[in-house]
Chains A and B, each alone.
Chain A
Amino acid sequence: MQLIACPWCGEREEIEFHYGGQAHIAYPDDPYALDDEQWAQYVFFRDNPKGPFAERWVHSAGCRRWFNALRDTVTHEFLSVHDNRAERPSRTGTAPAAQHAEGQEAGR
Chain B
Amino acid sequence: MTVETPARFSPLSGWQDRFAQLPTGLRVRELPFLTQLTLRVEPGSAAAKAVEDCLGIILPGPLRAGSPGDVEVLWTGPDEWLLVAPDGRQDDLLARLRSAIGDDFATVTDVSAQRTTLALSGPLVRTVLAQGCALDLDPRVTPAGSCLTTLLAQAPVTLVVREEEPSGVRLLVRSSFASYLATWLLDACTEYRSDTGGRGWDGR
Q: Which A residues form the contact surface with B (CB < 8 A)?
A: 1, 8-10, 12-13, 15-16, 61-65
Residues of A within 8 A of B62 (CB): 8-9, 63
Min distance, Cβ B156 to any Cβ of chain A, angstroms: 5
Known: A9-B62, A9-B63, A61-B156. A15 touches B77 (CB 8 A): no
Known: A9-B63, A16-B150. A65 touches B134 (CB 8 A): no
Q: Name 15 extra pairs, CB < 8 A, besides A9-B149, A13-B151.
A: A1-B134, A9-B62, A9-B63, A9-B148, A10-B63, A12-B135, A12-B150, A15-B151, A15-B154, A61-B150, A61-B156, A62-B150, A63-B62, A63-B77, A63-B78
Q: Which 4 A-B pairs have the closest CB atoms?
A: A63-B77, A13-B134, A62-B149, A61-B151
A-B contacts counted at CB < 8 A amount to 33
Q: Is B35 interfacial (CB-CB < 8 Å)? A: no
Min distance, Cβ A8 to any Cβ of chain B, angstroms: 5
Q: Is B112 interfacial (CB-CB < 8 Å)? A: no
Residues of B within 8 A of A62 (CB): 149-150
Min distance, Cβ A2 to any Cβ of chain B, angstroms: 11
Q: Which B residues form the contact surface with A (CB < 8 A)?
A: 62-63, 76-78, 80, 134-135, 148-151, 154, 156
Min distance, Cβ A72 to any Cβ of chain B, angstroms: 23
Residues of B within 8 A of A16 (CB): 150-151
Residues of A within 8 A of B77 (CB): 8, 63-65
Nearest-neighbor residue (CB-CB) of A63 within chain B: B77
Contact A65 B78 (CB under 8 A): yes
CA distance A64 to B77 in the complex (A): 7
Contact A12 B134 (CB under 8 A): yes
Nearest-neighbor residue (CB-CB) of B62 within chain A: A8
